Structure 1
């Protein structure tokens, strides 16, 4: 069975510390757990405020998983890896993470 490509959208508001941290954390998780099978779109709401309405964005930064369905959202800087993986329903491919 072919793995589907994950579609992720990260909503930020400019280059704040939280936004930069969220993007760095997200890229790290994607490369670690979804390598080669994800698409990441970053939406800066300072430049495109109208896009917040479509995904009902109430806080920044917010990560939205569009595909696979169902749509899931995680708010914050994504620094808690376990919470992000559980929130996105990503299962590590091999064993457990570092510890």
Structure 2
């Protein structure tokens, strides 16, 4: 009887079920990412940053992100509040830690690494 119990434990079905119950990737927590992108109206780099960050978010965070785009000419008071010194600037507010990226976000791999995506 002991041998049949051993065989059941070593069967692929049993191992698969036991692995899935302890595998932390089997049921990943769904985190919402919150971004603010500061741009300068029709500036070429700002337009590129909007396209690039939207592309990255749709590819890797679809349905799990919020992106607020703030034009510094329409909301100049936000520059001082957020201590924005250059545009485009992307701020990742959630999940922690808070992170800032400056530029057009063209290097998608670097952006993903910096934002922990």
Same fold (TM over 0.5): yes
- TM-score bin (small chain): 0.7 to 0.9
Aligned residues: 90
Tell me the alpha carbon deviations over residues 18-42 of structure 1, each in whole angstroms, 9 at most, x when there is no partner.
Answer: 0110000000000000000000000
SS at match of 2:68: strand
What is the TM-score normalised by the length of structure 1? 0.87
**In 1, Cα distance between the equivalents of 2:75 and 2:113?**
29
- Scaled by the length of structure 2, the TM-score of the pair is 0.74
Secondary structure, aligned partner of 1:65: strand
Q: Cα deviation per residue 1:55-92 (whole Å; 9 max; x = unaligned)?
A: 211100000001111110000000001110111111xx
* Counterpart secondary structure, 1:20: helix
Q: 1:57 aligns with which of 84, 92, 96?
A: 84
Which one has a bigger Cα radius of gyration?
2
Q: Secondary structure at the match of 2:114?
A: helix
SS across alignment from 2:101: strand
Residue 30 (structure 2) pairs with residue 3 (structure 1): yes
Equivalence for 2:43 = 16
Distance 1:85 1:27 in 2: 12
1:88 equivalent in structure 2: 115
Report the structure, 1 or 2, having the larger helix content. Answer: 2
Distance 1:62 1:2 in 2: 28
Q: What is the rounded CA distance, in whole Å, between the counterparts of 2:80 and 2:95 in structure 1? A: 21
Deviation above 4 Å: which 4+ runs of structure 1? Answer: none
